[in-house]
Chain A
């Protein structure tokens, strides 16, 4: 049977998270359909049709889907889910919002945030802030699954040529309305997809320092900026910078943890990084227990020095 992947997009561009979710889906089935739900999202559907491994793209185009409101997405997905053995969405804030709703409408359980596919009905997922990996088997007829995108490698060969067909868009629920979005504009790579992440913690001590100390290093490395929960709570960095159990999960080639002590909740979000570099003045900080390279010292002198040395 086939697997349905829900596309992550902004009505213009197909997001990389979709390709990674397709990679997970290909471990379940070779017949992969992608649902593009949005408004005036034809370009997204065309991009999805080229994605490697996709056999069919289904497009639901309607005003009620323009902002992927969970109420409308849930109804749409639940309406077609039973045609599939599994329905996968990326474990982004969008996927986490609508997929449990769709699953419950079908009276099916959901498996969140998987990091591996063992078989068509058995998945591995982290629990307890990543301190434990649980292997979970679903007995439901349709497996609803969200996928931790950093755990799967996208095939971006664009080797696909899937047919595109329309699906009837759903009517608006009338219970929920999009008012506005305040999206940060970054001229840097996306945090969850970046090859290098420069992350700052409470020791930065102010929003001004966060910016003035970390930005030159991130610019030099073409890196995304991240932050610990402490730095976000203190207002040094915006909420979508947060790396950790309840924020974003990243797995870059290099992760710089600057002035971050390394609470387990933070480690949950970055310990799959290839190389971790820690800069902290406290040599007992737990971050040094996971860092490949550590420097004990004052970040305010070390970070500018590092930027110059690169």
Chain B
């Protein structure tokens, strides 16, 4: 069984620890002179701990969990992309439309039939929109559906 995951992650964390420590040395001296514990003391301490842990991880790695491959990886990518697009479309498209798209796509990719998936998205989006905007008076963006 391969133990590459922990080694690679340990290395990344070691790089982070070093960069983080270096960052702490670059803080400007605080106004009023140095104290026993300046803004850099705690970060430096943390960088050392993280460094030790990452070294341990590289020396004594645990066996890997398998990463998703091929189609599953693609599905995960689609899910993350859907969420990102959802976040950025929420204001321009409005809550109901963007939710229909996002929830619908997620349901569909998780195995629901497209028609039922997008219907679920539309209904849940509309219900939450009404509940928030009128019930709780926390307006959500209406976007394209805005009526003036």
Q: Do A and B bind each other?
A: no
